[in-house]
Amino acid sequence: MAALAVDAQTKRQYYELRRYQLRNSVGPALPGKAMPSAKPTGLDGPFGAFNPVIGEGGPFLTLLFTYSSFAEAERIDDKLGAYKGFVRYDRTILRAFEAMPELKLPPKRDGNHIFELRTYESNDLTTLAKKVDMFNKGEMQIFQRLGMNPVFFGEAIVGSSLPHLSYMLAYDDLAARDRVWKAFGSDPEWQKLRATPGLSDADIVSNISNTILRPTAFSDIR
């Protein structure tokens, strides 16, 4: 897949995370157009569609859109059409980090990866900026060196629970996830970075949440 061009001024992509809350098996089906079972037409960048493996509030469907500019997010519903087979949905728009300005597909393998979507909330924009800088100048590079397969990093600019950042990692399986996080926790560079005055989680992160996801058959990101 060709790389999506990015905004000439910012050189960073934008992402949208859209979570559709689905009705469980109890109760009547909702009328209207069914939720997507194929990649929507007219999308330029890599598209992700994921079902939960481990996560609160299921059942839900998470969609990930890649944009070259913020303005593209305004036109996405024209491409999606009027889905009605859900209870409600939330959307978050994020701007890619400077150190990883474009989404990166995980390496090809036999079978699909599993994915972890992690969100770090901060008390204010100052502490969020410190955490973003921490990723840009060290933590992200440790992830890459340890084979944690970062897919994207983004700072939320529209959405709920602001300010926060989100990022996605890809693993071969849950056992691989456990191995790489154990290696990360004991990594000397990480130990040094986290010990920097003012950069502990207690100083700059107010809450961390995560969801383990499995790609659907029509997801580019798999």
- Inside any domain, residue 8: no
- Inside any domain, residue 7: no
Closest CA to 4 of 151, 103, 79, 105: 103
Phi then psi for residue 74, to 5 deg, are -70, -25
- Residue 131 exposed, middle or buried by CB count within 10 Å (0-12, 13-18, 19+): buried
pLDDT of residue 27: 43
pLDDT of residue 87: 87
- Inside any domain, residue 6: no
Q: What is the pLDDT along the chain (222 residues), one digit of tens a residue?
A: 334 445 445 589 999 999 999 887 544 444 555 687 889 888 889 999 999 999 888 889 999 999 999 999 888 988 887 777 788 899 999 999 999 999 999 999 999 999 999 999 999 999 999 999 999 999 999 999 999 999 999 999 999 999 999 999 999 999 999 999 999 999 999 999 999 999 999 999 999 999 999 999 999 999
Residue-averaged pLDDT of the chain: 90
CATH number at residue 19: 3.30.70.100
pLDDT of residue 85: 76
Structural domains counted in the chain: 1
DSSP letter (8 states) at residue 99:
T
pLDDT of residue 10: 52
Percentage of the chain beyond pLDDT 90 is 74
What is the distance between the alpha carbons of residues 79 and 6, in angstroms, rounded to a whole number? 20
Q: pLDDT tens for residues 133-144?
A: 999 999 999 999
Q: pLDDT tens for residues 56-92?
A: 888 899 999 999 999 998 889 888 877 777 888 999 9
- Residue 163 exposed, middle or buried by CB count within 10 Å (0-12, 13-18, 19+): buried
- Inside any domain, residue 4: no
Question: Can you give the residue range of the structural domain that contains 137?
Answer: 14-215
- Inside any domain, residue 209: yes
From first CA to last CA, the distance across the chain in angstroms is 13
Total-model pTM = 0.91
What is the distance between the alpha carbons of residues 144 and 46, in angstroms, rounded to a whole number? 20
- Inside any domain, residue 145: yes
Task: Compute the Cα dihedral for 118, 79, 84, 221 and give only its sign.
Answer: negative
Strand residue runs (E) in 55-191: 60-67, 88-96, 114-121, 150-158, 164-171
- Inside any domain, residue 40: yes
What the block records as the tokens of 128 is 């969020």
- Inside any domain, residue 221: no
Is 94 within 8 Å of 17 (Cβ atoms)? yes
152 beta partners: 168
